Amino acid sequence: MSGNGKPVGVAVLGLGNVGSEVVRIIEDSADDLAARIGAPLVLRGIGVRRVAADRGVPIELLTDNIEELVSREDVDIVVELMGPVEPARKAILSALEHGKSVVTANKALLSISTGELAQAAETANVDLYFEAAVAGAIPVIRPLTQSLAGDTVQRVAGIVNGTTNYILSEMASTGADYAAALADASALGYAEADPTADVEGYDAAAKAAILASIAFHTRVTADDVYREGITHITPDDFESARALGCTIKLLAICERVKVDGGQQRVSARVYPALVPLSHPLAAVNGAFNAVVVEAEAAGRLMFYGQGAGGAPTASAVTGDLVMAARNRVLGSRGPRESKYAQLPVIPISLASTRYYVSMHVADEPGVLSSVAAEFAKREVSIAEVRQEGVVDQGGQRVGARVVVVTHRATDGALSETVAALEDLDVVQAVASVLRLEGTNP
């Protein structure tokens, strides 16, 4: 290990937007970083797929031999910013096996392999830091692992994907449909050429797995997280949301729940939900992210800021790099993985929340009573019902739309209710089913 002011050698893997910014910070802020760490940071090499003189850094720093770079004796810390899962996983494991501390922003890898990587770091007695894997520059991981280490976290909920938040914000403010809002996000560079990982909730689910693992001292993988995307959200849903004093956000929700007579379990889920305008998450618009943490003693804490982008993500990565370098200088290491609780993750059918159900129905007497009876049969209590006529372009009434808002119920009971509604002759279609989060009843 480094000590007595000896330089701390750093290898950066990947030279994209984030990697380039991390390299710039290491070079431009060398004196400040050395003062904060107690020793200078020295960039030993940069792992890339293509070694060329046009990469914006001295060509002698570049190498496509990742295995050789991460095993060099003069490298103390490896910063992995390549993605995706492979070859990043192989590179990180090799670095850890060679006794190097690792900093990564690879949420996809962490959401499926945290245990494997954490065990490798434990065996080598080195650090594994990943603040930038969730919500970019927003400090969430370190508060959960350190600031709240003496508290009991009950719930973590947030907007953790900037692309979907931009799309939903545009739909809310302009009345655009999903396709138009996605096209706008793509034109501005907020959406990838293939936006599936964002709009179908995969990105948010990976982050939810990481948050749940840390908050509840339990290994949770992306496969454990229930996931729904935003592609089915319509302007009609936003119109109904406004009438209810709400907006719609894609939320990642991780919480402790009690089932089977009080046994603690974990619920981890991602889906679009109605959020009251009075809730702090309702005001998070554009490509910004926010995470709300609810702890037993600390109460509600909110973390807000830019959740993506080269500079914000590089800020979080460099923060981890400084922490790992300090530990090297002092001959210590940071917090280890905490998985002592080992709480089972419940299926979505046992998760409980409120619901918004919109359906197209026949315009005739007795419809509301038939609909209400299906909710009552499954003990799903109705909080509010709205019915409005549907007219065609000529102004003729051609049917009706019914919106039901429930009190808290399990997802299983609600799903059974929706299936029964779809079988009713008076229900032409169940147009939309959304959760309602951020309320108590």
Query: Does the bond joining 87 to the residue before it have cis omega, within 30 degrees of 0?
Result: yes
Q: Is 67 annotated as a binding residue?
A: no
Q: Is 16 annotated as a binding residue?
A: yes
Q: Does 107 carry a binding-site annotation?
A: yes
Query: What distance in Å separates the CA atoms of residue 21 and residue 24, rounded to the nearest whole number?
Result: 5
Q: What is the DSSP string of 189-226?
A: T-S-SS-HHHHTSHHHHHHHHHHHHHHTTS---GGGSE
Distance CA 70, CA 47 (A): 9
Is 97 marked as a binding-site residue? no
Whole-number Å distance between alpha carbons of 66 and 88? 10
389 is an annotated ligand-binding site residue: no
Cis, peptide link before residue 143, omega less than 30° from 0: no
Amino acid at 315: S
| Cα angle 382, 388, 390; round to 5 | 135
Cα gap 113→111, rounded to integer Å: 6
Two tokens, residue 362? 């026949």
Give the span between the Cα atoms of 27 and 114, in whole angstroms: 30
Q: How far apart are CA 212 and CA 219, in angstroms?
A: 8
The answer to whether 19 is a known ligand-binding residue is yes
Is 433 annotated among the ligand-binding residues? no
Q: Is 15 assigned a ligand-binding role in the annotation?
A: yes
Handedness of CA 242, 181, 436, 415 (dihedral sign): positive
Contact 194, 236 (CB under 8 A): no
- Show which residues are catalytic: 207
3 is in an annotated binding site: no
Residues comprising the binding site for NADP(+)?
13-20
Residues comprising the binding site for L-homoserine?
192
Residues comprising the binding site?
13-20, 107, 192
Residues comprising the binding site for NADPH?
107
